[in-house]
Structure 1
């Protein structure tokens, strides 16, 4: 539980702390992700905006946030802080600039067994870490994110 103590549930307003890029990095059924720049540190983060009105179970979602706070592994995307207002929950997370693993695989067309082994090793290490921490229902798909734009680099599970 050590890392969870350092994750901030910020009672302030997101825009008081972050400048948000208008361009969306991704979009899903619950919300979208854009880049955010911390006004104090200039750190660039991914800011996920989740519409409360589209959530079926807010309490379960908050439990998932609590789990994310505990995760501390090089192949799992880090949650830095969260914000909440009447309409949305905002998650400030590690930005993985390489995009989704699935897209990189499609773009590459094919890759060597060595690259496949490296990718699988990183994914298995992350899943093993989650299981060691009694996190069993984490969604692991090929939509995992990459920290760089080449397949031979580091993968982070979201």
Structure 2
């Protein structure tokens, strides 16, 4: 964390070792971050480099990860999930309007701005994002389980891959487990490429048909038939008209705890780096 000397405002500091990072990858992330400014996107404030490291001064987001907040709530409904996904869609729609594809949307990259009960969702981590003026990409990248069928099939793909990932996230938010799960990666990818998933009993019995319809449209195997962000934002479940307010906290949280490690339980490797050289003019390093 760093503090801006003139204002006293706090910011997050992202430190990257040069030897672990291709220059082109960092340049891509910096170019993307400098191009975007949205209420639901973690923004870049400044950038520095030393002989061994790159330093990104980022907007401070202190509300924690999505799953952690759900587990801590005590009460959780479809309406809550709909509110989260609507904000993600608004952010991703903005990215797509600016010819940017995130390519790595997943719950770990969705953070709460602060600890307030009604804090907004922030989309983060643009390390795999791509500025695509022509709309077609070919590099296979993303996180297994969230990546779209056309990427795994090694076909040219478009911004529709982000919409698939949002569909997967929505599915998880409503049941607590992923739509595709196999210990064997080959079988996992095979299921994804066939779009082979189901709404299992009893976990989906109390979930509205509208929510399931939304997921089907987002997780459409054919990317040309898949919902765009604009279409998704107009869906009744996202608008809030059909999202149920029945409490699903217990069933969802049991599955989240079973299938996803809570971030605060993870063992995090930390490294010490000294920032004396770059924060003498504008920034004061506050420690990790």
TM-score (norm 1): 0.71
Q: Which of 34, 44, 65 is the matching residue for 1:79?
A: 44
Preserved CA contact (<8 Å) 1:104 1:150: no
Distance (Å, rounded) in 1 between the aligned partners of 2:54 and 2:101: 24
- Name the residue aligned to 2:4: 38
CA-atom RMSD, angstroms? 1.6
| Distance in 1 separating the partners of 2:45 and 2:7 | 13
More strand by share: 1
The separation in 1 between residues aligned to 2:23 and 2:75, in whole angstroms, is 40
Greater percentage in helix = 2
With over 3 angstroms needed to count, the CA separation of the structure-2 counterparts of 1:152 and 1:41, relative to structure 1, is: closer
Structure 2 SS opposite 1:41: coil
Between 36-45 and 98-107, report the one with greater CA deviation. 98-107
1:104 and 2:47 matched:
no
For residues 85 and 102 of structure 2, what CA distance do their matches in structure 1 show?
19
- 2-structure distance, mates of 1:82, 1:74: 20
User: Among 115, 120, 134, which residue is 1:154 paired with?
Assistant: 120
Give secondary structure in 2 for the equivalent of 1:91: strand
CA–CA distance in structure 2, aligned partners of residues 131 and 114 of structure 1: 25
- Does the Cα contact within 8 Å between 1:99 and 1:146 map onto a contact in 2? yes
Structure 2's unaligned 5+ residue stretches are: 125-288
Give yes or no for the alignment of 1:127 onto 2:56. no
Q: How many residues align?
A: 123
Q: Take 1:85 and 1:150, find their aligned partners in 2: how far apart are those partners?
A: 36
Structure 1 unaligned regions, length at least 5: 1-34
Q: TM-score, normalised by structure 2?
A: 0.40
